[in-house]
Chains A and B, each alone.
Chain A
Amino acid sequence: MAIVVTEKCRNCRHTECVTVCPVSCFHGDDQMLYIDPEACILCQACVPVCPVQAIYDEADLPSELSEWIAVNAERAAKLPVVDERQTPLQASAR
């Protein structure tokens, strides 16, 4: 079990999530963030701070988004840690 970042994060990078994570388990590319399920301690601190509601506890993940469990694990393993706030991407302007 872990916390999972989903599609709505794409082209967002508001990154409130990384500023509250106590274990620096977010990894990212130039489009979105992913959670390392091994490092995540399931504190759920990131879930309520995401401005686009892209983050779910796996237990609450809608079934149509279940593919993101594997995507997070695979992508996080290959990407660098993001633990400081980033400049939001244009496409995510609210």
Chain B
Amino acid sequence: MNSPVRTLAEAVNPDAALIDDWHVVAFSKDVPTGKVVPATLLGEDLILWRDAGGGIHVWKDLCIHRGARLSKGWIADDTVVCPYHGWRYDGSAKCVLVPAAPDQPPPLKARAFPHPAEERYGMVWTTLGAPKHRIPVFPEWEDTSFRKFNAGPYVFKANGFRSVENFIDATHFPFVHGGLNGIEDKPDKIDDYKVFEDENGISTSGIRVYQPYGDHRQVPVNATYFYRVYRPLVASFSKAVQIADPNKSHFGSPSDRFCTFLTAQPIDEVNCIIRLCVAINFGENLTEEDILRRQDKVFAQDRDIVETQRPERIPVDLRAEIHHRTDKFGLAYRRWLGSLGVTYGTA
């Protein structure tokens, strides 16, 4: 007797907190009309495509007919064509053509498997479940005094939570970003700060550091970070930057801010893709290339360290690893993940 065919290792079932949440799976610009784009979210393979009207679609990467991957297919007449028997699915996920029987209406059951899809901040968001939360609000997005840029994607062979925790950590700057966001031989003493929790997640009071090359202007600045984690894999900081040299401070303004909104797409428990929307309200002469060059460098430095962390899954038992007082926000993040019932991707 034949054994059941198994092509995959036993699937790990992601928690409801992650299934019923919005995740970014692509930049909008990377899903042009006429292209089928593959993605993987929480172990589930997906396709993304854009119809002729500009609408975005996120479907399971599967044709119900014989289980072929739609990501190997293509777009024709504003439909997704399955590469195996040419079945065509339109923007409502309905099969509109079975080429072997072109004169018959396709079976009603012949449908693709769509997931909800939204576009926000230049990013494509989707969910595998029924989110109880809306897509987090990046306040600077609507503020016209800020220029906005998407940076990434940065592929981390690392756990998404470890990657987010790295993003909300102000004490690694002198060592991982020496010469940019800190000085290895003169690391900043981090003053005590407050951690808050509200209906929009967890956040900090200001954390002040000196940065020899703290923003894209290539001038030393005193920077104050205000961090927030909105959802397990969505975080941001708003950084107030003040030119450190008092004789040059007039080149800046007390309202100068550099903000970064970060999303981590959990491919699986130990791989993720980081995407950013950065917002800046100063340095009009800075080009997109200037901004992206620096972001690419900083996140390559982060990736190199986060990929080395073991265990790969983040420990949410607070007695695992050591939490220093200056790690208060990372500690709060782990505790919060635990309180949300997240076990997928944790140790």
Residues of A within 8 A of B (CB): 19-23, 41-43, 45
Contacts and interface: CB of A to CB of B under 8 A. Distances in A.
Nearest to A83: B192
**Nearest 3 CB-CB pairings of A with B:** A41-B318, A22-B323, A22-B325
A22 B324 contact: yes
Contacts of B324: 22, 43, 45
B328 to A, nearest CB: 6
A11 to B, nearest CB: 26
| Secondary structure dominating the interface of A | loop
A42 B318 CA distance: 9
Contacts of A42: 319
Interface string B295-335: 00000000000000000000000110011110110010000
6 contacts: A19-B325, A22-B325, A23-B323, A23-B331, A41-B323, A43-B324
Contacts of B327: 22
Given A19-B325, A23-B331, 13 more contacts: A19-B192, A20-B325, A22-B323, A22-B325, A22-B328, A22-B331, A23-B318, A23-B323, A41-B318, A41-B319, A42-B319, A43-B322, A45-B325
A22 B333 CA distance: 13
Contacts of B318: 23, 41
Interface residues on B, range: 10 to 19
Interface in B71-122: none
B21 to A, nearest CB: 27
| Secondary structure dominating the interface of B | loop
B323 A43 contact: yes
Contacts of B323: 22-23, 41, 43
Contacts of A19: 192, 325
Contacts of A45: 324-325
A40 to B, nearest CB: 9
A20 B331 CA distance: 14
A19 B328 CA distance: 12
B209 to A, nearest CB: 19
A20 B325 CA distance: 6
Contacts of A20: 325
Contacts of A41: 318-319, 323
A21 B326 CA distance: 10
Nearest to B320: A41
A21 B324 CA distance: 8
A47 to B, nearest CB: 13
Nearest to A43: B322
Contacts of A43: 322-324
Nearest to B328: A22
Q: Which of B192, B318, B324, B328 has the most CB of A within 10 A?
A: B318
Nearest to A42: B319
Nearest to A21: B325
A22 B323 CA distance: 7
Nearest to B192: A19
Contacts of A22: 323-325, 327-328, 331
A42 to B, nearest CB: 5
Contacts of A21: 325
Contacts of B319: 41-42
A19 B192 CA distance: 9
A51 B192 CA distance: 21
